[in-house]
């Protein structure tokens, strides 16, 4: 199975360790990975800011970048959701429309791909820590994924997951929202940090680096000693390679 990685701007520029973790986990699970060099931003920041026509060159570039890919796996639920929305942003007589539809059908968020495509729920990771998980808005509401991250984290040996109060609440980042509405964004992240700290965690985990960057920044400014980790980093922790010879699957085997 060949996987094209969609790393996103935030991972490329600020959290390259997340991209490394994604590669190591996927290849350990039997995937062949590639990183299309032509890929850039998904176009979400400009499109959501009202620059619809100006965003089309970026959108078409992304479609070209992943044309022919067997699967496209992204590091951020938010960015993956944007790629899945491409068919809705193009006219049906646009030559890129059928390509956009094909891309939307084969692009997945990282944990979603492992759980729903590879059918794996235990990647053989272990991490002795107490953690809570922030469920990002776009991954939940646009991708509709509420299960995959929790199943995978529940199978990380030694990791004690504590439910986050008000899990459905936004952290206040929202891409350009935090820039346009800083006062509201600040109040939202303040409430989120209060909920995080109520769980007394060692680690805050999420599948969206934008959220982790926003919440992590507030945790740091408030003097809280809580580590932030992308789910790929958690699933790549202290891996028992012997256990991975027979991973725990949901349904069929990898070979089947």
Tens of pLDDT along 102-152?
A: 999 999 999 999 999 999 999 999 999 999 999 999 899 989 999 999 999
Q: What is the pLDDT of residues 27-58, one digit of tens each?
A: 999 999 999 999 999 999 899 889 999 999 99
Closest CA to 139 of 181, 170, 184: 170
* Same fold: 2-116 with 122-235: yes
What residue spans define the domains of the chain?
2-116, 122-235
Which residue is associated with the tokens 């049906």? 92
CATH of domain 122-235: 3.40.50.11810
Pairing verdict, β 248-249 and 120-122: antiparallel
Where does 2-116 sit in CATH, by number?
A: 3.40.50
Q: Which of 164, 235, 151 minimizes the C-alpha distance to 200? A: 164
């Amino acid at each position: 199975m060949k996987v094209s990685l969609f790393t996103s701007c935030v991972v490329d520029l600020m959290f390259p360790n997340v991209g490394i973790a994604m590669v190591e986990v996927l290849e350990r699970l039997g995937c062949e990975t590639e990183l299309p060099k032509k890929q850039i931003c998904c176009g979400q920041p400009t499109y959501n800011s009202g620059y619809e026509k100006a965003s089309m060159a970026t959108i078409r570039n992304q479609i070209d970048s992943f044309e022919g890919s067997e699967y496209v796996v992204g590091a951020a639920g938010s960015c993956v959701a944007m790629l899945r929305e491409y068919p809705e942003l193009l006219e049906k007589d646009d030559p890129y429309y059928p390509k956009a539809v094909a891309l939307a059908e084969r692009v997945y968020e990282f944990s979603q791909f492992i759980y729903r495509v590879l059918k794996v729920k235990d990647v053989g990771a272990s991490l002795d820590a107490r953690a809570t998980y922030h469920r990002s808005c776009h991954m939940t509401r646009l991708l509709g994924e509420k299960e995959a991250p929790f199943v995978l984290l529940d199978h990380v040996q030694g990791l004690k997951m504590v439910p986050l109060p008000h899990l459905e609440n936004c952290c206040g980042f929202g891409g350009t929202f935090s820039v346009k509405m800083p006062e509201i964004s600040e109040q939202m992240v303040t409430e989120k940090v209060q909920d995080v700290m109520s769980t007394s965690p060692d680690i805050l985990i999420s599948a969206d680096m934008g959220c982790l960057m926003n919440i992590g920044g507030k945790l740091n400014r408030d003097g809280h000693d809580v580590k932030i980790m992308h789910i790929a980093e958690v699933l790549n922790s202290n891996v028992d390679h012997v256990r991975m010879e027979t991973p725990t699957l949901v349904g069929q085997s990898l070979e089947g």
